[in-house]
Chain A
Amino acid sequence: MEKKLAKITVNVNEEGYLTDFSQWTKEVGNEIAKEQEIEMTNKHWEVIAYIHEKFKNEEPLSIRGIKKSGVINIKEFYQLFPGGPLKKATMIAGIPKPKSCI
């Protein structure tokens, strides 16, 4: 389905995740964050940049990865993206949430 975020029309799935990463801009990310009641700071964007890097290399995201990222520790990660940090951070980053095979 289509949705208007920061004056840009993007395609999202039922849960609100972008289905086409090429439509993502920082403004779009900001709008999604607002909907999640998260105010983005530089630290947030550093995490998003790390997530984009992993996504481009097709590496799976995990809490362990965050721990080893050097960007942030896990407690901070939970503080920045409260209540399911991976699923919220991926939504803001415009990439699919971590999934299993069904």
Chain B
Amino acid sequence: MKNLVILGAGTAGTMMANHLVSKLKIDTWKITIIDQYKTHYYQPGFLFLPFDIYTTKQVKKNGKKFIPKAVTYIQEKIEQIVPDKNEVLLESNKKLQYDILIIATGTKIAPEETEGMKGPMWHKNIFDFYTYEGAKALRNKFREWEGGKLVIHITEMPIKCPVAPLEFAFLADSYFKNKGIRDQVDITFVTPLDGAFTKPKATKALHYLLEEKNIKEVTDFNIERVDYKNHKIIDYADTKVEYDLLVTIPTNMGDSLLERSGLGDDLNFVPTNKATLQTIANKNIFAIGDCTNLPASKAGSVAHFEAEILTENILRYIRSEKLKEEFDGHANCFIETGNGKALLIDFNYTQEPVEGSFPFPGVGPLSLLKESRINHMGKMAFKWIYWNMLIKGVHIPFVSATMSEKGKKLN
């Protein structure tokens, strides 16, 4: 019997378990998946939770439901990966041997990396919305908040779902309008990049959204510390931004397991071949999803496209064939713009998001880089697709793992 071990039962790990269980011979391969947490969160829903658009029940389910019966599911903390011995060490000192290892441990927020952020005001007037706890605490705060300076802030790149902070700003505009207190709320978007939009075509097509919604931009802001006593964030150039309510996206880091195992970079992300998903350091270790150092977006759609290619490459690796160098950084994301509308973007490592139609060239029904109601319906329908198709490894019709140039206005 040979062993394939998957670390992490989030979006990417669960998808891999589902893909591989139907592809590997169960009399030769034992598949094991390990995750210390019982709950599987619908992370895209964390964007909607603060605004009472989704309930807490809509964003979480018991993870076990999504792990195939033929896969061994261990709920325990992983202590270390020992590549020299092809071994995974669990907290209980139990050892697991692997022939193939897939790392899918994701990314986490690390507010402790910024002075003053995770201090006494954490989840009082400084919030994140990238965790279930943060999004829920912010929802409770918003319910009673009477207005003031709302600052939405990105600490540093890379972050999971780079457009979520912008969507958050748009949804906040709608939320406070609906509450009738928009004139009491001053919204500022603070970014270390040189704009809320950074790519030429998107900036041209979408910058009007910020003006239309009266969202101010503070750019090139590299935070040094949070002065939580005086409600200010301060950057290295000594620029100060005052807030009454700070919604920050803290530094994102890979799991500390990778640091303990000597497999991570500065931010604990795993150096990975960007086309094959094999790790640089070990031929029998692969990485997928947010835990890699790939220059792609950290997003569920990316993990989904990666999963199709990684499955093929695991099979090739087993047959001692050359790996397919096929992953192109493909991402496909709905972006909420508020008022029941959304955008859709489809792009990869080299092609920036452009206008066009999707998935059928010239037909749609979804439009790229343009606001529409049908895009918003797509985003809402996506929750069902996620629970029923995506993490179960069911192919989403008409959407290929690599990006298609058809239907796009490339120049």
Which residues in A have some Cβ–Cβ distance to B below 8 Å? 13-15, 58-60, 62-65, 68, 74-75, 78, 83-84, 86-87, 97-102
Q: Which residues of B contact A64 (CB under 8 A)?
A: 113, 156, 251, 266-267
Considering only CB atoms, which chain A residue lies closest to B295 in the complex? A58
Considering only CB atoms, which chain B residue lies closest to A60 in the complex? B158
A75 to B345, CA, bound (A): 37
Query: Is residue B1 within 8 Å, beta carbon to beta carbon, of the partner chain?
Result: no
Q: Which residues of B contact A68 (CB under 8 A)?
A: 266
What distance in Å separates the Cβ of A52 from its nearest Cβ neighbour in chain B? 16
Interface centre among A14, A58, A64, A99 (most CB of B within 10 A): A99
Are A58 and B274 neighbours in the complex by a CB distance under 8 Å? Answer: yes
**How many CB-defined contacts (below 8 Å) exist between A and B?**
77
Query: Is residue B381 within 8 Å, beta carbon to beta carbon, of the partner chain?
Result: no
Are A59 and B293 neighbours in the complex by a CB distance under 8 Å? Answer: yes
Name A98's contact: one of B157, B251, B333 (CB within 8 Å): B157
Are B331 and A101 neighbours in the complex by a CB distance under 8 Å? Answer: yes
The binding surface of chain B is classed by DSSP as loop
Considering only CB atoms, which chain B residue lies closest to A14 in the complex? B200
Given A59-B293, A65-B266, A83-B220; A101-B163 close (CB under 8 Å):
yes
What distance in Å separates the Cβ of B236 from its nearest Cβ neighbour in chain A? 5
A31 to B347, CA, bound (A): 33
Q: Which residues of A contact B193 (CB under 8 A)?
A: 97-100
A13 to B201, CA, bound (A): 12
- Count residues of B near A (Cβ-Cβ below 8 Å): 36
Given A62-B157, A84-B194, 20 further pairs, Cβ under 8 A: A58-B295, A59-B265, A60-B157, A60-B158, A63-B236, A64-B156, A64-B267, A84-B220, A86-B222, A98-B192, A98-B193, A99-B199, A100-B157, A100-B162, A100-B197, A101-B199, A101-B333, A102-B197, A102-B198, A102-B345
Considering only CB atoms, which chain A residue lies closest to B159 in the complex? A100
Query: Is residue B335 within 8 Å, beta carbon to beta carbon, of the partner chain?
Result: yes
Given A68-B266, A87-B194; A78-B236 close (CB under 8 Å):
yes
Q: Which residues of B contact A98 (CB under 8 A)?
A: 157, 192-193, 198
A18 to B162, CA, bound (A): 24
Name B163's contact: one of A83, A86, A87, A100 (CB within 8 Å): A100
Q: Which residues of A contact B265 (CB under 8 A)?
A: 59
A57 to B159, CA, bound (A): 19
Q: Which residues of B contact A87 (CB under 8 A)?
A: 194, 220
What distance in Å separates the Cβ of B295 from its nearest Cβ neighbour in chain A? 5
28 contacts between A and B (CB under 8 A): A14-B200, A58-B274, A58-B295, A59-B265, A60-B158, A63-B222, A63-B236, A64-B251, A74-B224, A75-B236, A78-B237, A83-B237, A84-B220, A86-B220, A86-B222, A98-B193, A99-B199, A100-B157, A100-B162, A100-B193, A100-B197, A100-B198, A101-B162, A101-B333, A102-B163, A102-B166, A102-B199, A102-B206
